[in-house]
Amino acid sequence: MSKKGKVLLAMSGGVDSSAVALILKDSGYEVIGFTIKTWDYQSVNKKSESSCCDIEAINDARLLATRIGISHYVIDLTDLFKKEVIDNFIFSYLDGRTPNPCVVCNKKIKWEGLIQKANDLDCEYIATGHYSKISLLNDRYFVSKGLDENKEQSYVLWSLTQEHLKRTMFPLADYKKDDIKTIIAEAGFEKISKKRESYDVCFIPDDNYHNFLMENVPDLKERYANGNIVDKTGKVLGQHKGFPFYTIGQRKGLEIALGKPVYISNIDSVKNEITIGDKEDLLQDWVIVENVNLQKYEKVSNDIKSVVKIRYKDKGCLAELTELDNNRIKINFSTPVSALTSGQSAVFYEGNDLLGGGIITNQQN
């Protein structure tokens, strides 16, 4: 075994994880590449570009591993991925929520699957191509922001636990994307260096989640079409095509002419009803999140100055966190924020450090 230890690396066949393989091997680690097959690439629309999970990506990962002299395995987790990620994605929309499948996949598929395989192969560590850091303070492991602000990925890593983090390495923490592309090209893997970024939702490579929902819920339109669109007073203004096709803050595609822009402010899956209003109606000064996972601290105190991001590209807003029962936190924002969306993640930061996060709910107490 290498003096530096044995690392199980998640290899997608893309630029980032390929660079990690080179960096770790050159640093003296014993590297074992591991590619997870998560969906049936043969069923994907052939007109779509290749994604991070298709057969071409798997072959690219295997080729690189062979050429640099590391072992490579492929494991088929299609059934588990469907149960934990795809079914959750579908059920969330049918419940009037807008899910974030990457957060679920990171915890349930990538980390739990990798750690189990790492144990089988006697690997001390697991590694991925995320541009984030692993930090340690007072025996607590937590994610911190990496050097490349444009590739900052801590938002989708809030659900990782202490058991996950203490075994994790992020070798790209101190790199920028352009540097990584150069490393790959100079190592002789020019094709990989020119690959485009992976899709946000790997199992919907054409980015049309409406079609995906209809394919997987054949009677979706019959069940949910022609529900009411109402204003905040309850006045019926029209009918919608099915509430799962809409999200909070949406303005286009409502097919209602009121002489001014209007936005979806609420989705009621029980009533099969969508509420619309002015842009100001999207503003809220507090929200409750559930299924909270804390990283940097075991508990949060009210004197912590936290910046909360409510979506991936959000700049964040200063907020006060109050712990509630049943693994929930109430977030009181310093200024109202727009389009808080049930099912999305709210992630808490202290400077560059990730405190934790949770799932936004529409709970009122």
Q: Which residues are catalytic?
A: 105, 202
Length of the chain: 365
In the block, which residue shows the tokens 């101190």? 174
Tokens of 39: 């969906």
Q: How far is CA 189 from the centre of its chain?
A: 28
Question: Which residue from 362, 352, 357 is spatially nearest to 137, judged by alpha carbons?
Answer: 352
Asked whether the CA dihedral 222, 224, 228, 229 is positive or negative, the reply is: negative
Residue 55, phi then psi, degrees to nearest 5: -65, -35
Tokens of 209: 């989640």
d(CA 82, CA 249): 28
- Work out the angle at residue 299's Cα, subtended by the Cα atoms of residues 294 and 302, and round it to the nearest 5 degrees: 115
